[in-house]
Amino acid sequence: MKLAVTAPDRLDVRTVEIDDPGDLISRLPHSSALAWVRHGEGLVGWGEAARLTVPAGPGRFAAVQGLLDELFGSARVDDPLGVPGSGPVAFGSFAFDPASGDSVVIVPRHVVGRRGGRAWLTTIGDAPGPATRTMELAEPPAAPSQLSWSDGALSAPAWQRAVAAAVEHIRAGRLGKVVLARDLYAQASEPIDARVLLARLAERFPACYTFACGGLVGATPELLIRRTGDAVESLVLAGTAARGATPAEDAERAARLQASAKDRQEHSYAAQMVREALAPLCAQLTVPSEPQVLTLPNVLHLASPVRGLLHDERSVLDVVEALHPTPAVCGTPTDRALELIGRLEGMDRGRYAGPVGWVDARGDGEWGIALRCAQLDGTRARLFAGCGIVADSDPEAELAEAQSKFRVMQYALEG
């Protein structure tokens, strides 16, 4: 594996503490945005000090970590803060399917971060100069206009037939669960600016992780893994219901979701897999016995927060490799679910449902699953939504769930 964009033999990295920069997303100077923001904290980046190629096949996460160890290990780093996300950082977005070559890993030239009441600016290569000057380069983005919509690989009726076929496979005992996704296209009159979508998503869904990497933009509720020193955290989401129109209706739907045998079965597959993947890596691991309900602006999810302590020195990417793909985005058993996805979806997911996030030179980082997202390509956006299918799944209900998940990015595009 090699660097796809020529990088200097040795990176010069300087991090300086800065005054509160305000809204992080507003600091992005152009539409080639890199972002990972939640509740106003996180990282945004722009420019490229290096871009890594990621070959298809097994071992891709370890290969990327090896390259980053070499690149960051040889760098001249001035980082007086020493907090997660300061110093050199790589943003990444990996393809869902390990056989795909669509993954993107970028080391930005500029990063602005905020965490725990402190803010910083990291610059690679250039002398940073006054921090305020670096962050006054922004050009105001224009909102998408004259949008038109079209089906992706499958129409709604065709996707319902795919769901019905998946249920038949499950009831025949061939697998326990499979996640089927749909895509949808939006066409605009002018190139779509990622910053507009990021700003709308961060404002509407502050509890989600608003992200951008290599043109993939979204707001995922699902934290695959966070590593801070030897501590790791994950949030398992599986089992979904639409929000109600009133608080009373929300409470009724939340109670129904918690009592749903179908949704609890779907959730148990995902939680058990995360437990089994993390247990060999952790000296301590806590997984709740019962899921809780996570309330988002558009949907309710069954959620299980998982926490552990690593017993060896491992990068966050080592843990990502152990976890992906989870039953929450693939199914179980994994190999049979992957095969059925390939047969029924009729499309290449690209980086949808793959890991997305960042890693620093200490191996700390945060990675989510690329859900509620769209891949931008000039004037076109490709949206994705998926649903977990089990033996009791109803095609019509699953279609309604997918449509509710599409609304996140439809809102981001339409405002």
For the annotated catalytic residues, the residue numbers are 177, 222
Q: At which residue do the structure tokens 């439809």 appear?
A: 410
Q: What is the 3-state secondary structure (H, E, C) of the chain?
A: CCEEECCCCCCEEEEEEECCCCCCHHHCCCCCCEEEEECCEEEEEECCCEEECCCCCCCHHHHHHHHHHHHHHCCEEECCCCCCCCCCEEEEECCCCCCCCCCEEEECCEEEEEECCEEEEEEECCCCCCHHHHCCCCCCCCCCCCCEEEECCCCHHHHHHHHHHHHHHHHCCCCCEEEEEEEEEEECCCCCCHHHHHHHHHHHCCCCEEEEECCEEEEECCEEEEEECCEEEEEEEEEEEECCCCHHHHHHHHHHHHHCHHHHHHHHHHHHHHHHHHHHHEEEEECCCCCEEEECCCEEEEEEEEEEEECCCCCHHHHHHHHCCCCCCCEECHHHHHHHHHHHCCCCCCCCCCEEEEEECCCCEEEEECCCEEEEECCEEEEEEEEEECCCCCHHHHHHHHHHHHHHHHHHHHC
CB 34 within 8 A of CB 46: yes
**Which tokens in the block code for residue 204?**
């509407």
For residue 199, what are the CA distances in angstroms to 195, 212, 233? 6, 11, 26
For strands 76-78 and 12-18, give the pairing.
Answer: parallel
203 by Cβ neighbours in 10 Å (0-12 / 13-18 / 19+) ranks as exposed
